[in-house]
Amino acid sequence: MHTWVKRSPTYDLIEVFEGGEHGIVAAAYAGTAGAPALFARRYFGELTALSGDRGAKPILEARRAEVARVPFPEGATDLNTPEDYQQFLAANSRDAGRPPDPR
Protein backbone atom coordinates (compact mmCIF):
# COMPACT_ATOMS: atom_id res chain seq x y z
CA MET A 1 0.00 0.00 0.00
CA HIS A 2 1.33 3.42 -0.90
CA THR A 3 2.11 5.63 2.07
CA TRP A 4 -0.36 8.33 1.00
CA VAL A 5 -3.23 5.90 1.63
CA LYS A 6 -3.23 5.03 5.31
CA ARG A 7 -6.18 2.64 5.33
CA SER A 8 -8.49 1.56 2.58
CA PRO A 9 -11.60 3.76 2.64
CA THR A 10 -13.55 0.62 1.79
CA TYR A 11 -13.41 -0.44 5.43
CA ASP A 12 -14.92 2.85 6.57
CA LEU A 13 -17.62 2.67 3.87
CA ILE A 14 -18.57 -0.85 4.92
CA GLU A 15 -18.71 0.10 8.61
CA VAL A 16 -21.09 2.98 7.91
CA PHE A 17 -23.19 0.91 5.48
CA GLU A 18 -23.51 -2.00 7.90
CA GLY A 19 -24.73 0.44 10.53
CA GLY A 20 -27.98 0.35 8.55
CA GLU A 21 -28.84 4.02 8.85
CA HIS A 22 -28.04 4.90 5.23
CA GLY A 23 -29.03 3.25 1.97
CA ILE A 24 -26.17 4.91 0.11
CA VAL A 25 -22.66 5.39 1.43
CA ALA A 26 -20.08 7.14 -0.73
CA ALA A 27 -16.52 8.42 -0.52
CA ALA A 28 -16.30 12.19 -0.03
CA TYR A 29 -13.54 14.20 -1.68
CA ALA A 30 -13.04 17.50 -3.48
CA GLY A 31 -16.46 18.77 -2.40
CA THR A 32 -18.39 15.83 -3.85
CA ALA A 33 -19.47 12.27 -3.16
CA GLY A 34 -18.29 9.54 -5.51
CA ALA A 35 -16.66 6.18 -5.98
CA PRO A 36 -16.26 3.98 -4.21
CA ALA A 37 -19.87 3.85 -3.10
CA LEU A 38 -22.22 1.26 -1.65
CA PHE A 39 -25.94 1.04 -2.44
CA ALA A 40 -28.73 -0.83 -0.68
CA ARG A 41 -30.77 -3.25 -2.76
CA ARG A 42 -33.62 -0.74 -3.06
CA TYR A 43 -31.44 1.33 -5.43
CA PHE A 44 -30.54 -1.53 -7.78
CA GLY A 45 -33.30 -0.61 -10.26
CA GLU A 46 -31.91 2.90 -10.59
CA LEU A 47 -28.38 1.57 -10.92
CA THR A 48 -29.25 -0.86 -13.71
CA ALA A 49 -31.06 1.92 -15.60
CA LEU A 50 -27.92 4.07 -15.78
CA SER A 51 -26.16 4.69 -19.07
CA GLY A 52 -23.16 6.68 -20.19
CA ASP A 53 -19.81 7.06 -18.51
CA ARG A 54 -20.72 8.93 -15.33
CA GLY A 55 -21.24 5.82 -13.23
CA ALA A 56 -23.65 6.29 -10.33
CA LYS A 57 -22.98 10.04 -10.08
CA PRO A 58 -26.53 10.97 -11.21
CA ILE A 59 -28.01 8.91 -8.36
CA LEU A 60 -25.59 10.36 -5.82
CA GLU A 61 -26.55 13.86 -6.94
CA ALA A 62 -30.30 13.24 -7.10
CA ARG A 63 -30.36 11.55 -3.70
CA ARG A 64 -27.84 13.82 -2.01
CA ALA A 65 -29.83 13.97 1.25
CA GLU A 66 -29.81 10.14 1.49
CA VAL A 67 -26.05 9.73 1.02
CA ALA A 68 -23.74 9.18 3.96
CA ARG A 69 -20.38 10.66 3.05
CA VAL A 70 -17.18 9.05 4.31
CA PRO A 71 -14.12 11.33 4.13
CA PHE A 72 -11.57 10.15 1.56
CA PRO A 73 -9.51 13.17 0.42
CA GLU A 74 -7.14 10.92 -1.54
CA GLY A 75 -10.08 10.04 -3.79
CA ALA A 76 -9.61 13.34 -5.61
CA THR A 77 -6.63 11.71 -7.33
CA ASP A 78 -8.06 10.34 -10.57
CA LEU A 79 -5.89 7.89 -12.50
CA ASN A 80 -7.59 6.98 -15.78
CA THR A 81 -4.71 6.72 -18.20
CA PRO A 82 -1.11 5.54 -18.20
CA GLU A 83 -0.11 9.20 -18.43
CA ASP A 84 -2.12 10.02 -15.28
CA TYR A 85 -0.36 7.17 -13.51
CA GLN A 86 3.09 8.33 -14.61
CA GLN A 87 2.36 11.87 -13.44
CA PHE A 88 1.18 10.50 -10.11
CA LEU A 89 4.36 8.46 -9.72
CA ALA A 90 6.52 11.43 -10.61
CA ALA A 91 4.82 13.53 -7.97
CA ASN A 92 4.69 10.88 -5.26
CA SER A 93 7.67 8.60 -5.46
CA ARG A 94 11.31 9.11 -4.65
CA ASP A 95 12.37 7.61 -7.97
CA ALA A 96 10.18 9.26 -10.60
CA GLY A 97 8.63 6.74 -12.96
CA ARG A 98 9.10 3.81 -10.58
CA PRO A 99 6.53 2.57 -8.11
CA PRO A 100 7.49 2.91 -4.44
CA ASP A 101 9.18 -0.12 -2.92
CA PRO A 102 6.48 -1.92 -0.92
CA ARG A 103 9.00 -3.03 1.74
- pLDDT tens for 8-66 read 778 899 999 999 899 999 999 989 898 899 999 999 999 999 998 878 999 999 999 99
For the chain, where are the E strands, in sequence order? 24-29, 32-39, 67-71
CATH superfamily of the domain spanning 9-92: Spore Coat Polysaccharide Biosynthesis Protein SpsA; Chain A (3.90.550.10)
**Between residues 24 and 4, which one has the greater pLDDT?**
24
Q: What would the mean pLDDT of 61-85 be, rounded to a whole number?
A: 88
Buried b (16+ CB within 10 A) or exposed e, 63-100: beeebbbbebeebeeeeeeeeeeeeebeeeeeeeeeee
Q: What is the pLDDT of residue 77?
A: 78
CB atoms within 10 A of CB 32: 15
**What are the structural domain ranges in the chain?**
9-92
Q: Where in 1-78 does DSSP place strands (E)?
A: 24-29, 32-39, 67-71
Residue pair 102/2 in contact by the 8 Å Cβ criterion: no
